Chain A
């Protein structure tokens, strides 16, 4: 596998240096691994801090800016960040209105953010946490670590970020974040395995001519492995899995997300199929976002995330956002 890197040990730091150079509107602490909105702390406003393993770009650093995250903490590739990073981020962004931690449901992320919340509270920062667990491919039971956080994270960060930007208090921002998570569901598909810089070879074995249905964003397996399917067949499978679990009665926002190694040409074609299935099932689509937003390094494949929205959530979705990866409105 050929990679555009120097050595595996410095990929995260190198990316942060490059990000700092490209985005003067962000403060990037390469050494301590914290990406912060340059104008933070923003007086009177709740701050949103997220983070997670690297390798899912633009998540989370690319979502830092007005209308979305106030700070992000990138960990090593596929490894959650450490509590020190989150505490430092919280201290840098807290205006006194409190901080919401947006945490994807993985054992490591949960443990590190929990420790960070305790430490931040010791420093007098008011902290609330929301756990994102939108992946329907995983059985949520006592016998698993629970559903994984994937594409729904983008909806939580965008919509709760807009609420914070409007000046909503911490408990309100937290409640909105929870509501978005409860109404979001995702399903992912891998057409090839991803390769971590540290390992240098594919992290799992997916023979050519097969795909993994229900894959996670670290290449974790999901429901089953099948012989290669067409875009039409994959859309039927993925959208049905999401709709059956979400059972929406109102309109949805659809995220048709690339895993990193699938061209936009294919993603748009896939979106056409996704919209067809949603139409057939009578699910109205209020907004659609297509692109590589919650990726898994170089994995080929896609995921579908639906978020059922009411008027308020849709208004917050449409609210202006100015980040490296998402920008609209003004």
Chain B
């Protein structure tokens, strides 16, 4: 087991995200068609595929550069609300890491926390609005404890959006009718943490 990691770890994480999003695209789109506009899966699939391709071609040398490059590509390729929001999450997290060459789990949690704060500001949302923040905020908090805790907390947060009434984004038009559906953004956000836990497990990082 090791407690620190570098740029390659984050490249492998984002490649795993791309694979998972590709596998789960239909489910995300299905969730989005219930309370949104049925494009979440296809959009994220396109975005993370572009990210993986770029990172494989020219792998950045620092963890911060991996995240800022990924964020910029998401902003440039995804569109919709999820492009700027996921792009900002990763870009800000990358900026927070600066030039550090190796980081640990808690440092990654701190950086992602800065990213999550930027997402909240950009979207004007808060926890409980039935958005990606409902799994990002507990996920990042859990990451301070362990990768497994992050995954569990983010999953719980995503499932916890089911009884909520949407107050932001396209689902807010539904009002009460958004209750009873799991938020697609919170669901894809939870995938970030489940793939992070899987990557950490496979690489023996704790």
Q: Which chain B residues lie closer than 8 Å to A218 at the CB level? A: 37, 170
Partner of A138, one of B42, B85, B173: B173
The reply to whether B80 and A80 contact each other, CB–CB distance below 8 Å, is yes
Q: Which chain A residues lie closer than 8 Å to B177 at the CB level? A: 221
Interface size for chain B: under 10, 10 to 19, 20 to 34, or 35 or more residues? 20 to 34
The reply to whether B39 and A76 contact each other, CB–CB distance below 8 Å, is yes
The reply to whether B175 and A107 contact each other, CB–CB distance below 8 Å, is no
Q: How far is the CA of A80 from the CA of B39 in the complex (A)?
A: 11
Q: How far is the CB of B4 from chain A (nearest CB, A)?
A: 34
The reply to whether A80 and B38 contact each other, CB–CB distance below 8 Å, is no
Q: Which chain A residues lie closer than 8 Å to B123 at the CB level? A: 107, 111
Report the nearest A residue to B168, measured CB to CB: A145
Report the nearest B residue to A218, measured CB to CB: B37
A198 CB within 8 Å of chain B: yes
The reply to whether A139 and B38 contact each other, CB–CB distance below 8 Å, is no
Partner of B39, one of A82, A148, A198: A198
Q: Which chain B residues lie closer than 8 Å to A82 at the CB level? A: 75-79, 83
A328 CB within 8 Å of chain B: no
B61 CB within 8 Å of chain A: no
The reply to whether A145 and B170 contact each other, CB–CB distance below 8 Å, is yes
- Bitwise, B34-50 to A at CB < 8 A (1) or not (0) is 10011100110010000
A83 CB within 8 Å of chain B: yes
| A-side interface mostly | loop
Given the interface pairs A76-B43, A145-B170, the reply to whether A220 lies near B37 with Cβ below 8 Å is: yes
A2 CB within 8 Å of chain B: no
Given the interface pairs A108-B81, A108-B83, A111-B85, the reply to whether A220 lies near B76 with Cβ below 8 Å is: no
A216 CB within 8 Å of chain B: yes
Interface size on A, residues (CB 8 A): 35
The reply to whether A78 and B39 contact each other, CB–CB distance below 8 Å, is yes
Report the nearest B residue to A82, measured CB to CB: B79
B122 CB within 8 Å of chain A: yes
Interface residues of A in 194-232 (CB under 8 A from B): 196, 198-199, 203-204, 216, 218-222
B145 CB within 8 Å of chain A: no
The reply to whether B29 and A111 contact each other, CB–CB distance below 8 Å, is no
Partner of B173, one of A53, A75, A76, A221: A221
Report the nearest A residue to B165, measured CB to CB: A143
Given contacts A204-B33, A218-B170, 16 further A-B pairs with CB under 8 A are: A78-B38, A79-B43, A80-B83, A82-B78, A82-B83, A107-B170, A108-B81, A111-B123, A112-B80, A196-B37, A198-B38, A199-B33, A203-B33, A203-B37, A203-B38, A216-B173
